[in-house]
Amino acid sequence: MTQAPMTQARARRREKLFRPKGDQPEWRLIYDEFRKHGPGDVVTYQRLSEVLGRDFVASREPLQRAIRELEKADHRTLVCQRRTGYRIAAAAEHEQLAHAHSRRSRRQLTKAVAKARSANRAELTPDQVRRLDNLEVHLSQQAAMLARLDARDKQREAEIKELRRDTTSEIAAIDDRLTQLTDMLRRHGINTDPAPALAEA
């Protein structure tokens, strides 16, 4: 069966984008460029265009493959710097980035449930109704599971914050008590200063 013209054009474009430049595909070229940089460094669109020998912004298709390879092989990821390029994220940023992606995926799942639920079943065939109902149930179950996990995570975060507050208060109380004991010992003529280190022979 012959592909539709648009599909053929897209296939030709993808073939061109992933065609090796020399002996390297485009994703590999930009992946190698990112590997040269450390956390906090920004690789600009201009630099990526220079690496590829074409306008990178016109088509960023090889980027996702490069990111997957960077995350898998190098334990790094990228943060988009608007109108500039991509910054190599520090390891401490990965948790925040993961949470952000998780929130976006949950919002998309909620929208998917709404789309499946809002279809007018009266305008569908019995088979379409069955498939849509099954899809709605499946998506709703996923959304419910994620909601439970989210609630558990929030509870855990609240417990950790409370524990930190309690620990900080306890440390402050111990510090105050230690200061009081030190003052009392000094009033009784007891020196609490650290003993000087013995001179080496």
Strand, helix or coil for residue 85: strand
Domains held by the chain: number: 2
Choosing from 60, 89, 118, the residue where a domain stops is 89
Say yes or no: 144 and 104 in one domain.
Answer: yes
Domain assignment present for residue 196? The answer is: no
Domain that holds residue 39: 5-89
Digit-by-digit pLDDT tens for the chain (201 residues) are: 444 455 666 655 555 544 545 678 999 999 999 999 999 999 999 999 999 999 999 999 999 999 999 999 999 999 999 999 999 999 999 988 988 887 888 888 888 888 888 989 999 899 999 999 999 999 899 888 888 888 888 888 888 888 888 888 888 889 888 888 888 888 877 877 776 655 554
Say yes or no: 123 and 163 in one domain.
Answer: yes
CATH number where 20 lies: 1.10.10
Domain assignment present for residue 139? The answer is: yes
Query: Which string of b and e fits 166-195 if b means at least 16 CB within 10 Å?
Result: eeeeeeeeeeeeeeeeeeeeeeeeeeeeee
Say yes or no: 45 and 119 in one domain.
Answer: no
Say yes or no: 107 and 64 in one domain.
Answer: no
Instruction: Tell me the two tokens of residue 136.
Output: 């709605």
